[in-house]
Structure 1
Amino acid sequence: MPGSPGSTAEPPGQAAAEELVENRRGKLHPAVARTREAVRNLLGELPHGTTVLVACSGGTDSLALAAATAFEAPKLNLRAGAVIVDHGLQADSAHVAETAAGQCRALGLDPVDVRAVEVGSEGGPEGAARSARYDALRDAADEFGADVVLLAHTRDDQAETVLLGLARGSGGRSLAGMAPVAGLLRRPFLELPRATTAAACIASGLRPWHDPHNDDPQFTRVRVRHEVLPVLEEALGPGVIEALARTAGLLRADADALDVLAADLAETALRRDDKEVHCEIGALADEPAALRTRVLRQAALEAGCRATDLTAGHIAAVDALITDWRGQRWIDLPQGIRAIRRGGFIVLAEGVTG
């Protein structure tokens, strides 16, 4: 969709942000303080000299993150730069990317790198753009020797993610939402509302770009943001977003504990060779479903299934080869992988037969 980097369209949360800023000119605004504190808390334990990159689109959240990181990184003896990913999905995307890069340089971030990507079609428009973006961020981290890439997801984004997981009928791991720390990636703003990042930009004199895609109802997340969450807030009262984000945190702790137990079980229940993954039925049959299905999912991934294509329905069908065996022939999984019961094992491999 064509967009305008100088658009005067009021982004979501703008009115609330203006209210937060009112009458606080000339002081360090609380919203700016909160963004800086969030960055400081998540980066404070990093070794001196670590390189940190901010993923910055030039939008409200990522620009507030860039400003907070530029301020805090030198105090923590960290090197801070930025990566701007140009998805090429709008006519003026190159100009938008260069504008964001200029803002990052003006904040004192260095290096600042603009990366153009080609967005495919696999996983739908949102999924394909996300995959291309994350690949570019990892490549940039490798090139600049960065140990951390900062993402600007807020508490509102977390709530939207939980609702999307509920709509898909996803398991506890999906409902756990986004983690504050996930390998290379860190999300300092997960406990901050979107209104805070907007207020921080206004108070700091920053001019964010408003992505027109954020108002386009063809995207599921946009419909959740503008149609579903307001209805829930009206019907259930304020605090729905905070409650959803809090639920994600609680579920994440449970999911992390189950993942550790499942990894231990997989060590004894899975056997691997060059072509096949074998799941020992005797080691899995009496285990709780929460552990058994995690191990089966790991086996399917190791056999060659892509995580984005592997559904809870697939895993339930494979699990039935253990818990509801009635002579099923095999289960077809993504990427041509099959699961078949052979002797005392569930065998997963490409095109495997009895």
Structure 2
Amino acid sequence: MGPHPAVADVRRAVREALADVREDALVLAACSGGADSLALAAALAFEAPRLRLRAGLLTVDHRLQPGSAQRARTVADLATELRLTPAEVLTVTVGTEGGPEAAARDARYAALAEAADRLGAETVLLGHTRDDQAETVLLGLARGSGPRSLSGMAATAGRYRRPLLHLPRSTTVAACQAQGLSPWDDPHNADPRYTRVRVRHKVLPLLEAELGPGVADALARTAALAREDADALDEWADTAYDACTYDACATAEPVTGGPVRLTVAELERLPSAVRRRVLRRAAITAGTPSGALSATHVLAVDRLVTHWRGQKAVNLPGGLSALRRNGLLTFTTPG
């Protein structure tokens, strides 16, 4: 007999995600011990030898709960049973910037990146599922975000790959049960103080009850379509940015932290979706922190192009401003 259908689905997803990875490369599974990442780690342990890859595991101790160090060590010990090596516990300090969820995420990704660099890993697998994708889309809708945010998480982003984005969470739970794996249920995943938890346990079930089953799947499909559109607009905006940049070195990649000048006449020719991407890139290149630059900031700068009445400069995060003068839109530090 073959494996349980859920086990087969997870293994197939991992196998397909790693099909283009070179032989003997090191692939790491980021594993919290929850059902999603545990099923992912087990699938990697099974598939890696067949693909002639080396496979290891990383688990992050956020130190936010009593006993977190022991739980992280348990996950690392399980990696040894699965023959995943190296297996490391990454201990982090979680800050406060952006709120608890964002701070924990930033600390986690920083630790994963450092470990991947140090170990020479080519790829890090993340256990996000279709349900996580649906939650991400709903959170983007609630923030009034644009297509890039609504496109959710990418299946591949640099060294990171998310093989399970098309699978529901129920599949990873079933895969763990079929293999005798005991996932850890993080209490934070049931804490209503966290926005994502409320979306998971209240909003999505309500939508399913009122609109019928399949809402999570539909949201995930929406994310995929939005990502295709956003990628096309971003590519257009990259070309437009070079055409709008006033400096002689317009075609060279600017060094972040210096003044950026854009030609207003060129900006006026662009569709708003492309123009606003150009403006956002200009602000970030000039030194505005990307995480602090909101759609409101970009719209205010956009009005310097579309509704010019001689208004003053627009203040931007990071102590910068955008000022229109003599046909140029300049992003710089006032002084």
Provide TM-score, normalisation by structure 2.
Answer: 0.96
Aligned partner of 2:23 in structure 1 is 48
How many percent of aligned residue pairs carry the same amino acid? 57
**1:176-217 CA distances to partner (integer Å, 9 max, x unpaired)?**
000000111100000000000000000000011110000000
- The residue type equivalent to 1:53 in the other structure is L
Match of 1:195 among 165, 170, 177: 170
Aligned partners of 2:292 and 2:140: how far apart in 1? 15
Aligned partner of 1:309 in structure 2 is 292
Aligned partner of 1:223 in structure 2 is 198
Q: Aligned to 1:210, what secondary structure does the other structure show?
A: coil
- Assess if the C-alpha contact under 8 Å between 2:208 and 2:214 holds in 1: yes
Work out whether 1:232 is the aligned partner of 2:187: no
**1:258-314 CA distances to partner (integer Å, 9 max, x unpaired)?**
111111111121245763011111111111011100111111111112221111111
Aligned partner of 2:263 in structure 1 is 280
Aligned partner of 2:283 in structure 1 is 300
Aligned partner of 1:184 in structure 2 is 159
Q: Aligned to 2:213, what secondary structure does the other structure show?
A: coil
Aligned partner of 1:15 in structure 2 is none
Alignment of 1:1-354 (within 5 A): 28-270=3-245, 271=247, 275-351=258-334
Aligned partners of 2:314 and 2:290: how far apart in 1? 17
Q: Aligned to 1:317, what secondary structure does the other structure show?
A: helix
Residues 155-164 or 276-285, more deviating: 276-285
- The residue type equivalent to 2:189 in the other structure is N
- The residue type equivalent to 1:74 in the other structure is P
Aligned partners of 1:343 and 1:120: how far apart in 2? 44
Shift of 1:51: 1.0
- The residue type equivalent to 1:59 in the other structure is G
Aligned partners of 2:57 and 2:280: how far apart in 1? 35
Aligned partners of 1:305 and 1:102: how far apart in 2? 43
Aligned partners of 1:51 and 1:194: how far apart in 2? 26
Q: Aligned to 1:152, what secondary structure does the other structure show?
A: coil
Higher relative contact order (CA 8 A, sep 6+): 1
- Assess if the C-alpha contact under 8 Å between 2:258 and 2:287 holds in 1: no
Residues 304-313 or 223-232, more deviating: 304-313
Aligned partner of 1:22 in structure 2 is none
Q: Aligned to 1:49, what secondary structure does the other structure show?
A: coil
Equivalenced residue count is 327
Aligned partner of 1:10 in structure 2 is none
Residues 261-270 or 316-325, more deviating: 261-270
- The residue type equivalent to 1:218 in the other structure is R
- Assess if the C-alpha contact under 8 Å between 2:28 and 2:125 holds in 1: yes
- The residue type equivalent to 1:47 in the other structure is R
- The residue type equivalent to 2:331 in the other structure is L
**1:228-267 CA distances to partner (integer Å, 9 max, x unpaired)?**
0011000000000000000000110111111111111111
Aligned partners of 2:44 and 2:318: how far apart in 1? 41
- The residue type equivalent to 2:28 in the other structure is L
Shift of 1:27: 5.0
Aligned partners of 2:181 and 2:63: how far apart in 1? 24
Aligned partners of 2:284 and 2:25: how far apart in 1? 33
Shift of 1:67: 0.2
Q: Aligned to 1:196, what secondary structure does the other structure show?
A: helix
- The residue type equivalent to 1:327 in the other structure is G
Aligned partners of 1:339 and 1:82: how far apart in 2? 46
Q: Which runs of 5+ in 1 are unaligned?
A: 1-25
Q: Aligned to 1:335, what secondary structure does the other structure show?
A: coil
Runs of 4+ in structure 1 deviating by more than 3 angstroms, as ranges, are: 271-274
- Assess if the C-alpha contact under 8 Å between 2:258 and 2:285 holds in 1: no
Aligned partners of 1:313 and 1:105: how far apart in 2? 49
Aligned partner of 1:6 in structure 2 is none
- Assess if the C-alpha contact under 8 Å between 2:15 and 2:47 holds in 1: yes
Q: Aligned to 2:261, what secondary structure does the other structure show?
A: strand
Aligned partner of 2:251 in structure 1 is none
- The residue type equivalent to 2:325 in the other structure is R
- The residue type equivalent to 1:181 in the other structure is T
